[in-house]
Structures are given as C-alpha cells and as structure tokens.
C-alpha cells in the first residue's frame, strides 16, 4: 500500500474502529465490513462498495464518544464523514455517505414497513435527525443525483449489524477503495 491516503483510511478502520456501534452487538469495523460485503455480494460498483465501507467514518473522526445519540447528541457523522472524504473521493463515494442519514428519513416516509426494520439505535438517532421526511423533503431528495445510491447504502447499513458474521477483512476492500481515490 503505497498511497498514504489509503493507509490512513486502513488505519482508521483497523486501529480506531473497535468501539461499539451504537446499541448493536457489532463494533464500528464489523459494521463497515458487513456493509461493504453486502455491496460487493450485490454486485455494486467500486464507488458504492467504498461508500458502504466508509459510510460511518464520521464516527471515527470525532471525539464525542461511542454513542452520542444515547446522550441526545446528533453527531452529524454523515456530514463529518463527507467532509473527511471530500478531498479523497468524488461525489459517487462522498454523496451516498453524506446522504445515508437522509435516506433513512426518506425510507421511513416512503415505505410503510421501513420504520419497523430499524434497529433500536437507528430509531433513537432518527428522532435526533429530524424524523421521517415531509413530502417536500421527499421530492427534494428524489431529485438528488446520488439519491438512489444513498438509499441502497442505507439498506446495507440496516442489514450490517449481525453479531459474529464472518466477512472479508479491511484489506480485502482496499483495492475497490483505491480505484475510487482522486488523483493525488
């Protein structure tokens, strides 16, 4: 691994992602790996695999603790993650990351059974993130170029909370991430 940007991402996911993932039975790394693996198994593009792996990187670049939502704090990890990734990747990676919380709000507004699929911690954070979208917010979200990718990422996000699920390692996904990096 010669690109220091890729090494930094690998270090974050390897060395800093042992913290619990909200109230679920997996840690941050396991959640990221499960989401990326779901994207890979579904045949998604390198960009969506990278976005799935990195969608919660915003949790790893702040110092608000493992579960700020439990303390009533919206850590805005989607924006923090986007800001961290914006100098490294194009919109095909950064926009699904930025929009994955909005996609949860969107799905809660547009699919009658989606709310019931949310984990306990996702329900808690949803209340801090504005709840289900209003009809005008739904229309605005639908108009965004990366909204479909964000919705797909959100579906992986909700499924990626399986205790003891065996997945490929961080290193397995780094080639897809590397192919998406902007030129240095």
Cα separations (Å) of 16 from 3, 28, 30, 56, 142?
A: 19, 9, 12, 12, 34
Backbone angles phi, psi at 109, to 5 degrees: -85, -25
Place of tokens 């709840």: 131
The CATH number of residue 128's host domain is 1.10.3210.10
Enter the DSSP assignment of 89: B
pLDDT digits (tens, 9 = 90+) for 48-99: 999 999 998 987 765 655 555 555 555 667 888 899 999 999 999 999 999 9
User: What are 102-117's pLDDT values in tens digits?
Assistant: 999 999 999 999 999 8
User: Does this model's pTM top 0.85?
Assistant: yes
Domain count across the chain: 1
Segments forming the whole domain that contains residue 95: 4-180
Helix (H) or strand (E) segment spanning residue 152:
helix 147-159
């Amino acid at each position: 691994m010669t690109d220091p940007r890729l090494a930094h991402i690998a270090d974050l996911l390897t060395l800093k992602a042992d913290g619990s993932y909200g109230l679920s039975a997996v840690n941050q790394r396991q959640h990221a790996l499960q989401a990326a693996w779901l994207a890979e198994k579904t045949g998604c593009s390198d960009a969506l695999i990278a976005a799935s792996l990195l969608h919660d990187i915003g949790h790893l670049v702040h110092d608000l603790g493992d579960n700020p939502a439990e303390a009533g704090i919206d850590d805005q990890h989607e924006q923090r993650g986007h800001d961290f990734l914006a100098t490294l990747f194009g919109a095909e990676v950064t926009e699904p990351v930025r929009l994955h919380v909005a996609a949860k709000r969107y799905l809660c507004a547009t699919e009658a059974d989606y709310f019931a699929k949310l984990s306990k911690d996702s329900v808690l954070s949803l209340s801090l993130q504005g709840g289900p979208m209003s009809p005008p917010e739904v229309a605005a979200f639908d108009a965004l170029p990366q909204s479909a990718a964000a919705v797909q990422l959100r579906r992986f996000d909700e499924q990626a909370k399986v205790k003891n699920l065996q997945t490929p390692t961080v290193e397995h996904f780094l080639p897809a991430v590397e192919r998406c990096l902007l030129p240095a």
